[in-house]
Amino acid sequence: MTARVAVLASGGGTNLQALLDAGTGEAPFRITRVISNRSDAGALDRARRAGLAAVVLRNPGDAAELTAALGDSDLAVLAGYLKLVPAAVVARFRWRMINIHPALLPGFGGDGMYGSRVHAAVLASGATVTGASVHYVDEAFDRGPVIAQWPVPVRPGDTPDALAARVLAVEHRLLPAVAAELARRGFPPGVRLHLSGAAFASGDSPSLDLR
């Protein structure tokens, strides 16, 4: 069975695009709906270009509205979605709602930690490694159990923008790979996946192997 995936996005939607590009052919999932809290989100244009229904929420805090928008989705993916998901929707999608975050959680996450603030905080901390995390969504921002992480080096002289670009390239590979693996497994509770192969991603790193 091909899993139906809804993507929630507030911004430009490059992670949505990575999912759209991956969810074709033999892939175990398809993006079937795109949901945003902003009518001007670039993600909505990507959805329309892909011929998908794009829904703009009137009130992202309204559990009934969001539940209706998610419809019969098997998996909900938060990809740059900046609103808190109402608890009733979290409960309904337990183990079937995931988020991508551009740092190694539990560090550098939580309310207000999004966009370049995350990367600025990583640089200010002096950390030499950052990365991307995909985790289950619970009732708090960036708090649910981690499913998979991909470390990325912090380089001397990095700016928040440079770091964001390096992490984003990894996000575009990690998120579709996690969605595919969860779909293949049929969304059992509490999946934890580990990257095999090279620890650090580079532009031409070998194909992603999650176990």
One-letter identity of residue 158: D
CA dist., res. 110 & res. 167, Å (int): 18
If we measure between CA atoms, which residue out of 31, 23, 110, 129 comes closest to residue 73?
Answer: 31
Q: Which residue is nearest to ligand GRF (CB)?
A: 80
CA distances to 48, 112, 115, 200, 202 from 161, in Å: 28, 18, 10, 19, 17
Q: Does 15 bind ligand GRF (CB under 6 A)?
A: yes
What would the two tokens of residue 108 be?
């550098």
Q: How far is the CB of 80 from ligand GRF (least distance, A)?
A: 3
Strand 3-8: give its sheet, edge to edge.
53-56, 29-36, 3-8, 75-78, 97-101, 129-136, 146-153
Q: How far is the CB of 130 from ligand GRF (least distance, A)?
A: 11
Q: How far is the CB of 157 from ligand GRF (least distance, A)?
A: 21
135 catalytic per annotation = no
Cβ neighbours of 107 (radius 10 Å): 18
Q: Does 171 bind ligand GRF (CB under 6 A)?
A: yes
Q: How far is the CB of 40 from ligand GRF (least distance, A)?
A: 13
x/- map, 180-209, ligand GRF, by CB under 6 A: ------------------------------
Using the rule CB under 6 A, which residue among 11, 23, 107, 144 binds ligand GRF? 11
- Name the one range near ligand GRF by CB under 6 A: 8-16, 64-72, 83-91, 183-191: 8-16
Binding site for ligand GRF (CB under 6 A): 9, 11-16, 79-80, 100-102, 168, 171
